A and B are shown apart, each in its own frame.
Chain A
Amino acid sequence: MSTVDLAAVSRWYGNVVAVNDVTMSLAPGVTGLLGPNGAGKTTVLHMMAGFLPPSQGTVTIDGEPTWHHPDVYRKIGLVVEREAVHGFLTGYEFVLASARLHKLAAPKTAARRAIELVEMTEAADRRIETYSKGMRQRVRVAAALVHEPPVLLLDEPFNGMDPRQRLHMMDLLHAMGSAGNTVLFSSHILEEVEQISGTVQVIVSGRLAASGDFRTIRRLMTHRPHVFAIRSTDDRRLAVALLGEESVAGIDVAAGEIEVRASDYGAFTRALPRIAIREGVRVSQLRPSDESLESVFAYLVAS
Chain B
Amino acid sequence: MNMTIAGLTLRSMLGRKRVWLLLPLPVLLIGLTLLGHLHDTVDTDWIRPIEQGLGFGVVVPVMALIIGASVIGSEIDDGTIVHILTKPLPRREILIAKLVIAAAVTAITTGATMFVAGVIASDLRFGIGLAVGAAIASCCYCALFVALSLVSRRPVLVGLVYILLWEGLLTHVLTSGGVISIEAYAVTIANRIGGGSVLDASVSVRTAVIMAILFAVGGAWLGINRLKSFTLAGETS
**Contact residues in A for B86 (Cβ distance below 8 Å):** 49, 73, 76-78, 144
Instruction: Decide yes or no whether B83 CB sits under 8 A from chain A.
Output: yes
Instruction: Decide yes or no whether A215 CB sits under 8 A from chain B.
Output: no
CB distance from B209 to the nearest CB of A (A): 34
CB distance from A52 to the nearest CB of B (A): 5
Number of chain A residues close to chain B: CB under 8 A: 41
Bound together, the chains give a CA A43 to CA B234 distance in angstroms of 4
Question: Is there an interface contact between A70 and B83, defined as CB atoms closer than 8 Å?
Answer: no
Given the known interface contacts A100-B4, A101-B5, the answer about A71 and B88 at a Cβ–Cβ threshold of 8 Å is yes
**Contact residues in A for B87 (Cβ distance below 8 Å):** 70, 73, 98, 101-102
Question: Is there an interface contact between A80 and B79, defined as CB atoms closer than 8 Å?
Answer: yes
Bound together, the chains give a CA A227 to CA B233 distance in angstroms of 36
* Interface segment, one of A81-89, A113-121, A251-259: A81-89
Instruction: Decide yes or no whether A97 CB sits under 8 A from chain B.
Output: yes
Per-residue A-contact encoding for B201-237, CB less than 8 Å = 1, 0 else = 0000000000000000000000000001111111101
Given the known interface contacts A41-B235, A68-B228, the answer about A84 and B88 at a Cβ–Cβ threshold of 8 Å is no
Question: Is there an interface contact between A70 and B91, defined as CB atoms closer than 8 Å?
Answer: yes
Interface centre among B5, B83, B233, B234 (most CB of A within 10 A): B234
| Residue in A38, A49, A76, A101 whose CB lies within 8 Å of B84 | A101
**Contact residues in A for B85 (Cβ distance below 8 Å):** 51
Instruction: Decide yes or no whether B89 CB sits under 8 A from chain A.
Output: yes
**Contact residues in B for A53 (Cβ distance below 8 Å):** 231
| Residue in A37, A78, A80, A84 whose CB lies within 8 Å of B237 | A37
Given the known interface contacts A70-B89, A73-B86, the answer about A97 and B234 at a Cβ–Cβ threshold of 8 Å is no
Question: Is there an interface contact between B78 and A84, defined as CB atoms closer than 8 Å?
Answer: yes
CB distance from B210 to the nearest CB of A (A): 32
Bound together, the chains give a CA A247 to CA B32 distance in angstroms of 89
Closest to B87 in A: A101
Question: Is there an interface contact between A86 and B8, defined as CB atoms closer than 8 Å?
Answer: yes
Pick 7 A–B contacts, CB within 8 A, sort by A.
Answer: A41-B235, A42-B234, A46-B231, A49-B86, A68-B228, A71-B88, A97-B8
The 7 A-B residue pairs with the shortest CB-CB distance in the complex, in nearest-first order:
A84-B79, A43-B234, A51-B232, A42-B235, A101-B87, A37-B237, A100-B4
Which residues of A come within 8 Å of B, CB atoms? 11, 13, 18, 37-38, 40-43, 46, 49, 51-53, 68, 70-74, 76-78, 80-86, 88-89, 94, 97-98, 100-103, 143-144
